[in-house]
Structure 1
């Protein structure tokens, strides 16, 4: 009995040390891989939060006009844009959100899409920019690395999963273990490693929940996970209410193909077709009437309106910015003017509402300036966490080596890491696959190839 009681504490202590080292080692590995990408996400995300303020400051000549009272009919505004782009065809119209704002017409020519800004009071063309050169479009695509291709966007999806894991493992490493410093206080000075360690730990502990929130709410945009979750929600009637399309013919296009801004829940929902039986017996209602119908349905100023591009196309009115309660998408028959599909935020299932709310907060659109500043603070916390991680590593690294934390004394704790890989693999397949690859490399190549083992040690 005495022998048992004498060895038990040391065995428990050894297990705890092994678990701590295993998690520390993989926290280090994950951070090593994702720091450059997290910095990109945080910096571009900070910029995107204030895209409207930036546009009004640096591109005021396109966005701000003098409010002189009455405005031109929508068709005249579109005609003015087309006159400035000979041979082009109008594909969408965004009316002015207020008297001092410009209207925007999207035109297409030779497969290229251009945004044309027009003064709604006098029809003056204020400027134009390619849709893929517009400031917020470029920032958002660099943010997701979609700007550089599909495979880089998949990297960001993996990084998002790793960010979630970094928060969870970071909280474990931070958790107080009889120490007083480095929990909510920072010890030492910038010349000492403990300063950077404590600053890293305290920053993560305070902002961890918000960082986790940002990472998780960014996942719906990911090309693989997000697309599959969207499809699964729709198939199980947990996303877009499928019943609203029961009585209308559907095209092969989806909502994001025809509007520049659409809610995540409806972006892959099918676009209905206008009543083709009316093609011979009725004339199109025209843009002016479509805008009047849009207003009559309660769509607020500043909404987008996609213009039909063929005989079976529809007008698609979409409002997706600011107050979630006003998020709405309406498809209008171009001949009868009848709303074929009218779906608003209130119609989303509970899970769909939760995802849209998370996305809205992620983008800083839910509570105005407070939301923007809260997400900015989170982005700055991510940047600080990356900088402190690099400084902490730099001060402890051995000369000429990477300085990876040592493997734990008891290799059995890696069973737990395999379980983590399985959990993350089930939730986020690309991240789970990356974890499995890292585990295999760590337990084979880095363990048995002497030059690599020395370099990483």
Structure 2
């Protein structure tokens, strides 16, 4: 360890925040880098997937031909896959796109693509194995189930610490950075770019973290329980369907990405088999009912699972959650059993729905799309430039090169209150912070080799 490092003061907020910023990066950078890259893939899914699977997703509209009825296309799917259960149908997103049927097979879920003009099955895909499907699984749980979800949530909590400490370092260190740039110091330009980029991205990062927390398995689940106890919810609870519900939309369409967040937990009512004498509704009936009632297109129609099921017509409100709406259509006679949409959401669910639309880069059209793209690229730059700065200044010998500092909590009660409040608001942050402090006290400070390696202030 150099004399400069040995002489570096341990007290003071700047070095303490720099140290926490440094150590938080070991957890945050790998996870945030994955989230940024997979977020970009998901953002461009409508451009990427039709190119990667053009033989399934793209069709040519023959001159003079109109699309076959959806019921006829459904029949083609059932003939091609007699052992599969058709779960839903999604209308083509344009005249050159295929109709998509989601089916359940003994081997798992698949998306089946049908040429709407010729009514023939083009093939099928496992939605979780496509590029965007894999990106979604990585983005949500690192393909590691519940534990992957916890890792992402912990990293998100510490990303808040990185953003807050980063802002402090940016503003407090601006004079020193300018002096180093003027002197032509090694790495000064990269450090300035890292700081300026972080200052622009920090607020957006905080927003994305907060808007993504409702998805998490620990914080999201626990706060939803608290919200329910207070008579509200993160998502909708359709009171019109509670008389005899069979499932929720999420349960009806377990692998679908066309169910709006706010409607996912809404209850699905039942049809009455005693009404068989009436005319039998079809997928086309459900689409027509949806059109008459002003649902946005392309619609997704969830098919009845049994004799008591209903057709659930889901309006495609991609850019405006305020137009999210679902109609449940009786399979006997085609009457609307229940209607539920954004206007019926509790206030908290409305806020969450709008936040998630912004999070996914779709709320404000192309502006939101390109801002999110630039943001993700900026996050990738931050994830690369941070380790590169450390690599350039790392010391030679048996030391990690961590900044030396100790939080002056006794001298700054407001900081102590902020840390405790953050730990209570984000329990996984509090648990991991406590674990880090215990590790610091029991091992790092007591073992000379570790104390030297981690540059621990006594």
**Separation in structure 1 between the aligned mates of residue 410 and residue 355 of structure 2, nearest angstrom:** 38
Task: Determine if the alignment matches structure 1 residue 144 to structure 2 residue 140.
Answer: yes
* Residue equivalent to 1:244: 239
CA–CA distance in structure 2, aligned partners of residues 16 and 331 of structure 1? 64
* 1:50-90 C-alpha deviation (Å, 9 max, x unpaired): 11011222222222222344111111111112222232121
Q: 1:401-440 counterparts in 2 under 5 A? A: 401-408=399-406, 412=410, 419-440=417-438
* Inter-partner Cα distance in structure 2 for 1:330 and 1:23: 52
**2: distance between equivalents of 1:409 and 1:87?**
63
Q: SS at the partner of 2:86?
A: strand
Deviation of residue 281 (structure 1)?
5.1
Matches within 5 A, 1:205-354: 205-235=199-229, 236-240=231-235, 242=237, 244-245=239-240, 248-251=243-246, 253-259=247-253, 260=256, 261-275=258-272, 278=274, 282=278, 284-320=280-316, 321-354=318-351
* Residue in 2 that maps onto 1:367: 364
Number of residue pairs the alignment of both structures matches:
440
1:390 to 387, 390, 396: 387
Q: Deviation of residue 410 (structure 1)? A: 5.1
Q: Distance in 1 between matches of 2:228 and 2:407?
A: 48
Question: In 1, distance between residues paired with 2:406 and 2:9?
Answer: 9
Post-superposition Cα deviations, 1:264-314, rounded to whole Å, max 9, x if no partner, equal 2221232222235x3665564232322222222222332111111112222
Partner in structure 1 of residue 17 of structure 2: 23
Report whether the alignment pairs 1:80 with 2:76. yes
**Inter-partner Cα distance in structure 2 for 1:296 and 1:186:** 65
Q: Is 1:114 the equivalent of 2:110? A: yes
CA contact (8 A) 1:445 1:452 kept: yes
- Aligned-partner SS, 2:67: coil
Secondary structure of residue in 1 paired with 2:265: coil
Task: Indicate if the aligned counterparts of 1:316 and 1:330 stay in contact, CA closer than 8 A.
Answer: yes
TM-score under structure 2 length normalisation = 0.87
Q: Output the CA distance in 2 between the equivalents of 1:122 and 1:188.
A: 71
| Per-residue Cα deviation, 1:388-413 (whole angstroms, up to 9, x for no partner) | 21122112222232122213385735
In 1, Cα distance between the equivalents of 2:454 and 2:426? 28
Q: Which structure 2 segments of 5+ residues have no match?
A: 1-7
Q: Deviations over 1:13-68 (max 9, x none)?
A: x9995222222211111112211111111111111111101122222222222234
Name 1:5's counterpart in structure 2.
none
The equivalent of 2:375 in structure 1 is 378
Q: TM-score, with normalisation over the residues of structure 1?
A: 0.88
Aligned-residue offset at 1:124: 2.3
| Residues 16, 406 of structure 2: 8 Å contact kept | yes
CA change 1:376–1:416 in 2 (3 A) is same
Once residues 346 and 187 of structure 1 are traced to their aligned partners in structure 2, the CA distance between those partners, rounded to angstroms, is 57
For residues 107 and 167 of structure 2, the distance between their equivalents in structure 1, rounded to whole angstroms, comes to 50
Matching of residues 86-235 of structure 1 within 5 Å: 86-110=82-106, 112-176=108-172, 179=175, 181=177, 192-235=186-229
Q: Which residue of the partner structure matches residue 10 of structure 1?
A: none
Q: CA RMSD in A?
A: 2.8
Cα distance change of structure 1 residues 274 and 16 upon mapping to structure 2, 3 Å threshold? farther
Deviates more, 1:40-49 or 1:92-101: 92-101
Distance of 1:406 and 1:180 partners within structure 2: 18
Q: Distance in 2 between matches of 1:418 and 1:446?
A: 22
CA distance in 1, matches of 2:291, 2:138: 35
In 2, distance between residues paired with 1:306 and 1:389? Answer: 47
